[in-house]
């Protein structure tokens, strides 16, 4: 294990960005075509009033752990290792003798930079629980890359073949076990938690490694958006609902705008006219570039429709409030400006994401994380873009030379008839959602059992409850977090009671 300075983890400026993972889209060909679908991820920027860092930044220590490359084979190359980053905050920990818990953040599809500040639920509640805080970086993201360099790790499907959620979960299991031994914390209960893809990992970790973690908080985790468990158009149906609830006229404007774009594009010099109207930084080569940009803008607003700004309302207010006589596209552009701010030009190709993180996520969704997200011709406010599995698989094969396994997630982790199945063998999992989040439609929204529970709010958005608490948090968000905390307290109390019963008594 190698310790590195905490100051090298991330700069304050970078931490202001929190999680870089807002939303992005995948082309029919991964490298570039027009067919895209929404990405998972936590908010890039915290809400107003949220601290970028708490007052104890120096409490975070960054380490490297020598991690096993392949946990599931005994080939000589499987015993190779790589350096995996993790962060520890022991400021509030009560110590092993008190059976104080260990909270473990299951790293997601990005580098660790920013996690320690954005995942405020952990630091906010550490004093209450006297918890040791651990944040683990997901393999192949950040600096936790095997084969000596990022270039080699991403070289081809052979080196990327070790890049799976199963390997990541095994990484967490090995590292948590190591840390419990290091801190002599055999009696300290472990709670895993994460948001979005990280929330999926937290839930799956509890199912796969119940002997290591006594419970999991899975925030905004769409574990049911695989196979045919969730309607393909579910994501975009929720985006449409969010906009329609904000304003019927706004919804109608957006719905009408797609045909208007096609109408102008069909005219002489039409793409140039559209580029000028939307202040594109580069010439438009096809209408899909503009449509994808608008698609992304609407989806980001809905997925992260958080208080106090409520981006959907901001966009719709601008669209509806455009000057009298404004055309449909003028109104739409007013919404873009309201959402993105006044800029000299708008980059239609830039999603605001780290290219390195995107490379990793593209591999994941072309291997096992196949979300069948699409939409029909008249079931959302967007133009038709059905999900066609065969085309999707061919595009991935063209890019990587391997085909995805679209049914593997439900085979490995389950999902079909989830209530009956999990009721029999699962326990101590909180599935937290906000119903304004389009990905909530693929989440667990009803209690499975007394200890596998759904906690949701109708007003909430993607991963909102994992962010740091703020004085301007609405009551429903405060109650959501309080409910989660009380459930976790119950798990720990039960664990400690059982530990007391089984712990050998000293004879006098």
SS3 of 151, please? helix
Catalytic residues, which ones? 196, 437, 462
Beta strand ranges found along 396-460 (DSSP E) = 429-434, 452-457
What SS3 class is residue 431? strand
DSSP calls for 7-54 = GGT--HHHHTT----------SSTTT-S---------SSPPTT--SS-
Residues in the chain: 508
- Per-residue tokens: 271: 């793409």
Report the distance separating Cα 441 and Cα 199, nearest Å. 15
Tokens representing 380?
Answer: 């959302």
* Integer Cα distance of 306 and 462 in angstroms: 8
Which SS3 state, helix, strand or coil, does residue 147 take?
coil
Residue for token pair 């449909």: 328
DSSP designation for 444: -
* C-beta separation of 366 from 399 below 8 A: yes
Residues 109, 371: Cα–Cα separation, whole Å: 15
Report whether 109 contacts 40 (CB < 8 A): yes
Cβ 301 vs Cβ 311: under 8 Å: yes
Say what the alpha-carbon torsion angle 390, 393, 394, 400 is, to the nearest 10 degrees: 180
Q: What is the bridge-based pairing of β-strands 102-106 and 132-136? A: parallel
Give the SS3 label for residue 434: strand
Coil, strand or helix at 385: strand
Distances 483 to 325, 403, 454 between C-alpha atoms, Å = 49, 42, 11
Q: Is the separation of the CB atoms in 208 and 350 below 8 Å?
A: no
Instruction: Please check whether residue 84 is in contact with residue 172, taking contact to mean a CB–CB distance below 8 angstroms.
Output: no
Q: How far apart are CA 193 and CA 103, in angstroms?
A: 7
As to burial, measured by CB atoms within 10 angstroms (0-12 exposed, 13-18 middle, 19+ buried), residue 451 is middle
Question: What residues contact residue 6 under an 8 Å CB cut-off, 6+ apart?
Answer: 57, 58, 60, 61, 62, 87
């Amino acid at each position: 294990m190698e310790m590195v300075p905490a100051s090298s983890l991330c700069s304050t400026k970078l931490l202001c960005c929190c999680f870089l993972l807002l939303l992005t889209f995948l082309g029919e060909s991964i490298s570039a075509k027009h067919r895209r679908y929404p990405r998972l991820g936590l908010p890039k920027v915290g809400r107003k009033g949220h601290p970028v860092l708490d007052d104890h930044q120096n409490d975070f220590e960054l380490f490297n752990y020598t991690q096993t490359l392949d946990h599931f084979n005994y080939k000589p190359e499987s015993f190779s290792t790589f350096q995996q980053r993790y962060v520890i905050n022991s400021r509030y920990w009560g110590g092993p003798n008190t059976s104080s818990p260990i909270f473990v953040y299951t790293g997601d599809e990005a580098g660790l930079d920013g996690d320690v500040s954005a995942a405020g639920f952990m630091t906010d509640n550490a004093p209450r629980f006297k918890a040791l805080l651990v944040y683990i970086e997901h393999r192949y993201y950040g600096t936790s890359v095997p084969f000596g360099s990022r270039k080699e790790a991403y070289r081809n499907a052979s080196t990327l073949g070790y890049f799976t959620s199963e390997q990541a979960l095994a990484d967490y299991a090995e590292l948590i076990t190591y840390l419990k031994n290091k801190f002599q914390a055999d009696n300290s209960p472990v709670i895993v938690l994460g948001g979005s893809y990280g929330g999926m990992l937290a839930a799956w970790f509890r199912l796969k490694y119940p002997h290591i973690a006594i419970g999991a908080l899975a925030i905004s985790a769409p574990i049911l958006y695989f196979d045919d468990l969730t309607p393909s158009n579910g994501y975009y149906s929720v985006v449409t609902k969010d906009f329609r609830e904000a304003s019927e006229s706004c919804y109608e404007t957006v719905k009408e705008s797609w045909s208007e774009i096609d109408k102008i594009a069909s005219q002489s010099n039409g793409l140039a006219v559209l580029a000028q109207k939307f202040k594109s930084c580069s010439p438009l080569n096809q209408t899909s570039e503009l449509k994808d940009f608008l698609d992304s803008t609407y989806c980001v607003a809905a997925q992260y429709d958080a208080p106090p700004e409520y981006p959907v309302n901001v966009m719709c207010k601008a669209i509806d409030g455009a000057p009298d006589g404004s055309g449909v596209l003028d109104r739409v552009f007013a919404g873009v400006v309201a959402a993105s701010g006044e800029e000299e030009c708008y980059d239609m190709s830039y999603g605001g994401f780290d290219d390195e993180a995107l490379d990793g996520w593209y591999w994941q969704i072309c291997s096992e994380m196949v979300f069948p997200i699409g939409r029909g011709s008249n079931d959302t406010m967007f133009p038709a873009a059905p999900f066609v599995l065969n085309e999707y698989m061919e595009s991935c094969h063209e890019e990587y030379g391997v085909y995805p396994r679209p049914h593997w997630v439900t085979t490995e982790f389950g999902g079909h008839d989830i209530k009956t199945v999990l009721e029999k063998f699962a326990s101590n999992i909180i599935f937290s959602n906000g119903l304004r989040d389009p990905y909530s439609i693929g989440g667990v929204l009803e209690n499975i059992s007394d200890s596998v529970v759904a906690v949701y709010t109708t007003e909430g958005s993607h991963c909102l409850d994992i962010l740091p608490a703020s004085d301007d948090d609405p009551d429903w968000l405060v109650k959501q977090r309080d409910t989660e905390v009380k459930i976790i307290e119950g798990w720990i109390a039960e664990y400690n009671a059982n530990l007391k019963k089984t712990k050998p008594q000293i004879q006098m």
